[in-house]
Structure 1
């Protein structure tokens, strides 16, 4: 997980996104501030396995050109949140592919990389698209 977090933070830096890593109360939500090209990540998140996904999600807000501050709430409540989730999924998938991590099933991928279960259908579609598979 540390290598993935390093990769994500480097990706952000390479794309002009600043990152502030903080340690706050477990209920303090990570946030993207698009106008500042800044993400603020609470490392004391409720589900530590999900931290890389959260980082990717907040990067997604910046890279998608979202216009308002966006807090990670753990579920997509609008299209910006949904697209940030998809951005994170794709970013982590690309990392896993670069590491030659292959999984027979998308469920293995999301468990291994701390991706929320709500992303299973999207991960399945991504697998189909990237691997020309049919489930």
Structure 2
């Protein structure tokens, strides 16, 4: 989480973390480079993935929309933000692991990544392991 918050800060992205209703999704205002994170999310293990996802919207320049709410969607800009989030989080999971100890399900569980993103996770893990 600290790495992601520092990444936001270093890139002029404001992050507001607030405790609201447990089903209020996180959001990003792409044009203003602002992110809202709900610290009371009903699945707290997913908050880090949400922050990475919202950063993805900003870094992917999804500027057509002012505010984009967290959605683990399979299509369009949401899928692109999800892929970006996975790429941001993979180095932390892979750090110090031998390739044969890497487990897709374990990575997804760790960050509460929706199961429909499993193929994306597998692709990104393969790419990252080849780089190592």
TM category, shorter: 0.7 to 0.9
Please list every run of 5 or more consecutive structure 2 residues that lacks an aligned counterpart in the other structure. none
Counterpart position of 2:119: 121
2:20 paired residue among 8, 17, 24: 24
User: For 1:78 and 1:106, how far apart are their aligned partners in 2?
Assistant: 21
What RMSD in Å do the two structures reach over aligned CA positions?
Answer: 1.6
Please list every run of 5 or more consecutive structure 1 residues that lacks an aligned counterpart in the other structure. none
Counterpart position of 1:37: 33
2:84 paired residue among 84, 87, 93: 87
Aligned length: 126
Decide whether the 8 Å contact of 1:50 with 1:116 is kept in 2: no
Counterpart position of 2:57: 61
TM-score by length of structure 1 reads 0.84
Decide whether the 8 Å contact of 2:53 with 2:84 is kept in 1: yes
Ranges of 4+ aligned residues in structure 1 off by more than 3 Å:
none
User: For 1:101 and 1:6, how far apart are their aligned partners in 2?
Assistant: 21
TM-score by length of structure 2 reads 0.86
Compute the displacement of 1:56 (Å). 0.3
User: For 1:115 and 1:96, how far apart are their aligned partners in 2?
Assistant: 13
Compute the displacement of 1:19 (Å). 0.3
